[in-house]
Amino acid sequence: VNDRIVVKAIEPKDEEVWNKLWKEYQGFQKTVMPPEVATTTFARFIDPTVKLWGALAFDTETGDAIGFAHYLNHLTSWHVEEVVYMNDLYVTERARVKGVGRKLIEFVYSRADELGTPAVYWVTDHYNHRAQLLYTKVAYKTDKVL
Ligand code: ACO
Ligand code: ACO
Protein backbone atom coordinates (compact mmCIF):
# COMPACT_ATOMS: atom_id res chain seq x y z
CA VAL A 1 0.00 0.00 0.00
CA ASN A 2 2.84 2.34 0.90
CA ASP A 3 4.10 2.43 -2.71
CA ARG A 4 0.70 3.71 -3.79
CA ILE A 5 0.96 6.83 -1.65
CA VAL A 6 2.49 10.02 -2.98
CA VAL A 7 2.73 13.33 -1.15
CA LYS A 8 2.75 16.54 -3.17
CA ALA A 9 2.70 20.26 -2.48
CA ILE A 10 -0.83 21.64 -2.80
CA GLU A 11 -1.70 23.16 -6.18
CA PRO A 12 -4.59 25.46 -7.18
CA LYS A 13 -6.48 22.53 -8.79
CA ASP A 14 -6.60 20.74 -5.39
CA GLU A 15 -8.97 23.20 -3.71
CA GLU A 16 -12.09 21.01 -3.91
CA VAL A 17 -10.46 17.80 -2.63
CA TRP A 18 -8.61 19.72 0.08
CA ASN A 19 -11.87 21.35 1.21
CA LYS A 20 -13.49 17.96 1.67
CA LEU A 21 -10.63 16.79 3.93
CA TRP A 22 -10.53 20.17 5.74
CA LYS A 23 -14.23 19.73 6.64
CA GLU A 24 -13.55 16.22 7.96
CA TYR A 25 -10.69 17.60 10.04
CA GLN A 26 -12.94 20.24 11.58
CA GLY A 27 -15.30 17.43 12.56
CA PHE A 28 -12.40 15.63 14.22
CA GLN A 29 -11.37 18.85 16.00
CA LYS A 30 -15.02 19.44 17.05
CA THR A 31 -15.08 22.88 15.48
CA VAL A 32 -16.81 24.59 12.57
CA MET A 33 -14.81 27.38 11.00
CA PRO A 34 -16.40 30.17 8.97
CA PRO A 35 -16.03 29.46 5.21
CA GLU A 36 -13.66 32.42 4.74
CA VAL A 37 -11.06 30.59 6.83
CA ALA A 38 -10.88 27.81 4.22
CA THR A 39 -10.80 30.29 1.33
CA THR A 40 -8.10 32.42 2.95
CA THR A 41 -5.99 29.50 4.13
CA PHE A 42 -6.06 27.85 0.71
CA ALA A 43 -5.16 31.14 -1.01
CA ARG A 44 -2.21 31.48 1.40
CA PHE A 45 -0.94 27.98 0.49
CA ILE A 46 -0.84 29.09 -3.16
CA ASP A 47 0.55 32.60 -2.58
CA PRO A 48 4.35 32.44 -3.04
CA THR A 49 4.82 35.45 -0.74
CA VAL A 50 3.14 33.73 2.24
CA LYS A 51 5.11 31.22 4.29
CA LEU A 52 2.18 28.89 4.96
CA TRP A 53 2.17 25.68 2.94
CA GLY A 54 0.03 22.62 2.40
CA ALA A 55 0.85 19.11 1.23
CA LEU A 56 -1.64 16.46 0.11
CA ALA A 57 -1.27 12.69 0.15
CA PHE A 58 -2.80 10.84 -2.79
CA ASP A 59 -3.61 7.19 -3.41
CA THR A 60 -2.17 6.80 -6.90
CA GLU A 61 -4.40 3.79 -7.65
CA THR A 62 -7.69 5.64 -7.07
CA GLY A 63 -6.46 9.21 -7.50
CA ASP A 64 -8.10 10.13 -4.18
CA ALA A 65 -6.66 12.74 -1.84
CA ILE A 66 -6.40 10.93 1.51
CA GLY A 67 -4.59 13.30 3.86
CA PHE A 68 -2.86 16.61 4.40
CA ALA A 69 -0.16 18.39 6.35
CA HIS A 70 -0.06 22.18 6.81
CA TYR A 71 3.11 23.91 7.94
CA LEU A 72 4.68 27.33 8.24
CA ASN A 73 8.00 28.77 9.27
CA HIS A 74 8.70 31.56 11.68
CA LEU A 75 11.48 33.58 13.29
CA THR A 76 12.85 32.46 16.62
CA SER A 77 15.17 34.04 19.18
CA TRP A 78 16.98 30.69 19.49
CA HIS A 79 18.41 30.25 15.98
CA VAL A 80 19.62 32.38 13.13
CA GLU A 81 17.39 30.33 10.83
CA GLU A 82 13.63 30.14 10.99
CA VAL A 83 11.94 27.00 12.36
CA VAL A 84 9.02 25.02 10.95
CA TYR A 85 5.76 24.53 12.79
CA MET A 86 3.41 21.81 11.53
CA ASN A 87 -0.01 23.33 12.08
CA ASP A 88 -2.24 20.41 11.04
CA LEU A 89 -1.97 16.75 10.12
CA TYR A 90 -4.87 14.61 8.94
CA VAL A 91 -5.47 11.26 7.26
CA THR A 92 -8.99 10.28 6.20
CA GLU A 93 -10.36 7.44 8.34
CA ARG A 94 -10.25 4.55 5.86
CA ALA A 95 -6.62 5.32 4.90
CA ARG A 96 -5.21 5.25 8.45
CA VAL A 97 -2.47 3.00 9.84
CA LYS A 98 -1.06 2.45 6.35
CA GLY A 99 1.89 4.83 6.63
CA VAL A 100 0.20 7.94 5.18
CA GLY A 101 0.71 10.08 8.30
CA ARG A 102 4.37 9.09 8.43
CA LYS A 103 4.83 10.01 4.75
CA LEU A 104 3.24 13.42 5.32
CA ILE A 105 5.60 14.14 8.24
CA GLU A 106 8.58 12.96 6.18
CA PHE A 107 7.51 15.36 3.43
CA VAL A 108 7.47 18.25 5.93
CA TYR A 109 10.92 17.19 7.20
CA SER A 110 12.35 17.21 3.69
CA ARG A 111 10.80 20.61 2.95
CA ALA A 112 12.34 21.91 6.19
CA ASP A 113 15.73 20.64 4.97
CA GLU A 114 15.22 22.48 1.69
CA LEU A 115 14.30 25.63 3.63
CA GLY A 116 17.48 25.24 5.69
CA THR A 117 15.57 25.19 8.97
CA PRO A 118 17.06 23.38 11.98
CA ALA A 119 13.82 22.26 13.62
CA VAL A 120 10.27 21.07 12.95
CA TYR A 121 7.80 20.95 15.81
CA TRP A 122 4.09 20.58 16.50
CA VAL A 123 1.64 20.17 19.36
CA THR A 124 -1.11 17.68 19.96
CA ASP A 125 -3.68 16.99 22.65
CA HIS A 126 -2.21 14.92 25.48
CA TYR A 127 -5.09 12.45 25.04
CA ASN A 128 -4.51 12.01 21.28
CA HIS A 129 -2.92 8.62 21.76
CA ARG A 130 -3.40 7.46 18.19
CA ALA A 131 -1.39 10.38 16.81
CA GLN A 132 1.26 9.85 19.47
CA LEU A 133 1.73 6.21 18.41
CA LEU A 134 3.18 7.69 15.23
CA TYR A 135 4.86 10.73 16.81
CA THR A 136 6.94 8.69 19.25
CA LYS A 137 8.51 6.97 16.21
CA VAL A 138 9.32 10.03 14.11
CA ALA A 139 9.96 12.71 16.74
CA TYR A 140 10.75 13.20 20.41
CA LYS A 141 8.50 14.59 23.10
CA THR A 142 9.50 17.67 25.08
CA ASP A 143 8.56 18.51 28.69
CA LYS A 144 7.15 21.90 27.68
CA VAL A 145 3.73 23.19 28.71
CA LEU A 146 1.95 25.31 26.10
N1 ACO B 1 -0.80 -0.18 18.27
C2 ACO B 1 0.49 0.07 18.00
N3 ACO B 1 0.91 0.89 17.02
C4 ACO B 1 -0.05 1.45 16.27
C5 ACO B 1 -1.41 1.21 16.48
C6 ACO B 1 -1.79 0.36 17.52
N7 ACO B 1 -3.07 0.09 17.76
N8 ACO B 1 -2.10 1.91 15.58
C9 ACO B 1 -1.19 2.54 14.84
N10 ACO B 1 0.04 2.27 15.26
C11 ACO B 1 1.28 2.75 14.74
C12 ACO B 1 1.48 2.18 13.38
O13 ACO B 1 2.18 0.94 13.46
C14 ACO B 1 2.29 3.25 12.71
O15 ACO B 1 3.67 3.14 13.00
P16 ACO B 1 4.72 2.62 11.86
O17 ACO B 1 4.89 3.73 10.87
O18 ACO B 1 5.98 2.33 12.61
O19 ACO B 1 4.09 1.41 11.25
C20 ACO B 1 1.76 4.51 13.36
O21 ACO B 1 1.17 4.15 14.57
C22 ACO B 1 0.70 5.15 12.46
O23 ACO B 1 1.40 5.72 11.40
P24 ACO B 1 0.69 6.05 10.02
O25 ACO B 1 -0.01 4.86 9.46
O26 ACO B 1 1.76 6.67 9.20
O27 ACO B 1 -0.34 7.15 10.49
P28 ACO B 1 -1.80 7.41 9.90
O29 ACO B 1 -1.76 7.47 8.41
O30 ACO B 1 -2.76 6.48 10.53
O31 ACO B 1 -2.05 8.90 10.44
C32 ACO B 1 -2.91 10.37 12.08
C33 ACO B 1 -1.96 9.20 11.80
C34 ACO B 1 -2.55 11.54 11.17
C35 ACO B 1 -2.76 10.81 13.52
C36 ACO B 1 -4.36 9.89 11.79
O37 ACO B 1 -4.72 8.90 12.73
C38 ACO B 1 -5.39 11.01 11.85
O39 ACO B 1 -5.59 11.74 10.88
N40 ACO B 1 -6.07 11.16 13.02
C41 ACO B 1 -7.10 12.17 13.20
C42 ACO B 1 -6.50 13.59 13.13
C43 ACO B 1 -5.35 13.78 14.09
O44 ACO B 1 -5.30 13.27 15.20
N45 ACO B 1 -4.36 14.57 13.63
C46 ACO B 1 -3.18 14.93 14.39
C47 ACO B 1 -3.48 16.14 15.20
S48 ACO B 1 -1.99 16.85 15.88
C49 ACO B 1 -1.40 17.85 14.66
O50 ACO B 1 -2.10 18.17 13.74
C51 ACO B 1 -0.01 18.38 14.71
N1 ACO C 1 3.93 30.91 46.02
C2 ACO C 1 2.87 31.35 45.36
N3 ACO C 1 2.90 32.26 44.39
C4 ACO C 1 4.09 32.70 44.09
C5 ACO C 1 5.26 32.30 44.72
C6 ACO C 1 5.17 31.34 45.76
N7 ACO C 1 6.23 30.90 46.42
N8 ACO C 1 6.28 32.94 44.16
C9 ACO C 1 5.75 33.71 43.22
N10 ACO C 1 4.44 33.59 43.19
C11 ACO C 1 3.48 34.26 42.33
C12 ACO C 1 3.54 35.74 42.60
O13 ACO C 1 2.66 36.07 43.64
C14 ACO C 1 3.11 36.29 41.27
O15 ACO C 1 1.69 36.28 41.14
P16 ACO C 1 0.84 37.67 41.24
O17 ACO C 1 1.12 38.45 39.95
O18 ACO C 1 -0.60 37.22 41.32
O19 ACO C 1 1.33 38.38 42.49
C20 ACO C 1 3.71 35.29 40.30
O21 ACO C 1 3.87 34.05 40.98
C22 ACO C 1 5.08 35.80 39.85
O23 ACO C 1 4.83 36.89 38.98
P24 ACO C 1 5.92 38.01 38.72
O25 ACO C 1 6.48 38.58 39.97
O26 ACO C 1 5.29 38.93 37.72
O27 ACO C 1 7.02 37.12 38.00
P28 ACO C 1 8.59 37.28 38.12
O29 ACO C 1 8.96 38.69 37.85
O30 ACO C 1 9.08 36.60 39.32
O31 ACO C 1 9.03 36.44 36.86
C32 ACO C 1 9.74 34.40 35.87
C33 ACO C 1 8.67 35.04 36.69
C34 ACO C 1 9.91 35.16 34.52
C35 ACO C 1 9.30 32.97 35.56
C36 ACO C 1 11.07 34.42 36.67
O37 ACO C 1 10.91 33.62 37.81
C38 ACO C 1 12.26 33.89 35.90
O39 ACO C 1 12.91 34.61 35.12
N40 ACO C 1 12.57 32.57 36.05
C41 ACO C 1 13.72 31.93 35.37
C42 ACO C 1 13.53 31.90 33.84
C43 ACO C 1 12.25 31.24 33.42
O44 ACO C 1 11.79 30.25 34.01
N45 ACO C 1 11.64 31.79 32.37
C46 ACO C 1 10.44 31.24 31.80
C47 ACO C 1 10.80 30.18 30.75
S48 ACO C 1 9.37 29.81 29.70
C49 ACO C 1 9.38 31.03 28.49
O50 ACO C 1 10.31 31.73 28.29
C51 ACO C 1 8.17 31.23 27.57
Local structure of 83: helix, strand or coil? strand
Counting ligands in written order, the one closest to the CA of 57 is 1
The predicted-structure confidence for 65-81, as pLDDT tens digits, reads as follows 999 999 999 999 999 99
User: What value of ipTM does the predicted structure carry?
Assistant: 0.89
* Domains located in the chain, CATH noted: 2-138 (3.40.630.30)
Q: What is the Å distance from ligand 1's center to 77 Cα?
A: 32
With a 6 A CB cut-off, is 29 part of the ligand 1 pocket? Answer: no
With a 6 A CB cut-off, is 139 part of the ligand 1 pocket? Answer: no
Chunked in runs of 10, what are the mean pLDDT values of the chain (146 residues)? 92 98 98 97 98 98 98 97 98 98 98 96 97 98 94
How far from 44 is each of 11, 48, 53, 75, CA to CA, in Å?
11, 8, 7, 18
Work out which ligand 1 atom sits closest to the CA atom of 89: 50
Alpha carbon nearest to ligand 1 atom 24, residue: 99
**Ligand 1 probe mutation, 134, 141, 142, most atoms within 8 A of CB:** 134
Mean pLDDT of the chain: 97
- Residue 8 bridge partners (DSSP): 56
- Residue 89 bridge partners (DSSP): 69
Give counts: helices (H), strands (E), the chain.
4, 5
